[in-house]
Amino acid sequence: MPGKISTSAFSLLVLLTIPVGAQDSTVKAKDQEQAPVVASVTTPQKAAASAFPATTAPDYEIGPGDMLNISVWREPDISGTVAVRPDGKISLPLLSDVPAAGTTPAKLAATITERLQQYLNDPRVTVIVTATNSRRIYLIGEVVRAGAIPMLPNMTVLQALSAAGGFSQFAKVKRMYVLRVENGKQIKIPINYKAAISGQVPDQNLPLRAGDTIVVP
* 22 occurs within a structural domain: no
Last residue within a domain, chosen from 131, 151, 171:
131
Which range (12-16, 34-38, 84-88, 145-149) has the least confidence?
Answer: 34-38
Which are the contacts of 217, defined by CB distance < 8 A and separation ≥ 6?
141, 142, 171, 172, 175, 176
Residues 88 and 109 in one domain: yes
HSE value, Cβ hemisphere, 13 Å, CA-based, for 62? 28
Name the region of 3 (left: φ>0; alpha: ψ -120 to 50; beta: rest): beta
* 145 occurs within a structural domain: yes
Give the whole-angstrom CA distance, residue 50 versus residue 94. Answer: 30
Residues 91 and 160 in one domain: no
Percentage, residues of the chain above pLDDT 70: 76
Residues 112 and 145 in one domain: no
Q: How many domains does the chain have?
A: 2
* 27 occurs within a structural domain: no
Residues 120 and 142 in one domain: no
Residues 170 and 207 in one domain: yes
Which range (10-14, 114-118, 121-125) has the least confidence?
Answer: 10-14
- The parent domain of residue 92 ranges over 44-131
Q: Specify the CATH number for the domain of residue 75.
A: 3.30.1950.10
Instruction: Output phi, psi for 58, to 5 deg.
Output: -65, -25
Residues 115 and 142 in one domain: no
* 29 occurs within a structural domain: no
Residues 49 and 126 in one domain: yes
Residues 52 and 126 in one domain: yes
Last residue within a domain, chosen from 85, 104, 131:
131
* 87 occurs within a structural domain: yes
Residues 83 and 124 in one domain: yes
Last residue within a domain, chosen from 106, 131, 156:
131
- How many residues are given for the chain? 217
Residues 161 and 197 in one domain: yes
Most confident range (mean pLDDT) of 11-20, 26-35, 153-162 is 153-162
* 2 occurs within a structural domain: no
* 88 occurs within a structural domain: yes
Residues 160 and 84 in one domain: no
Name the pLDDT band for 58 (thresholds 50, 70, 90). confident
Percentage, residues of the chain above pLDDT 90: 59
pLDDT: is 32 or 101 the higher one?
A: 101
Q: What is the mean pLDDT of residues 99-115?
A: 96
Q: Is the pLDDT of residue 215 over 60?
A: yes
* 182 occurs within a structural domain: yes
Q: Specify the CATH number for the domain of residue 144.
A: 3.10.560.10
- Per 3-state DSSP, the chain is made up of helix, strand and coil in percentages (nearest 5) of 30, 25, 45
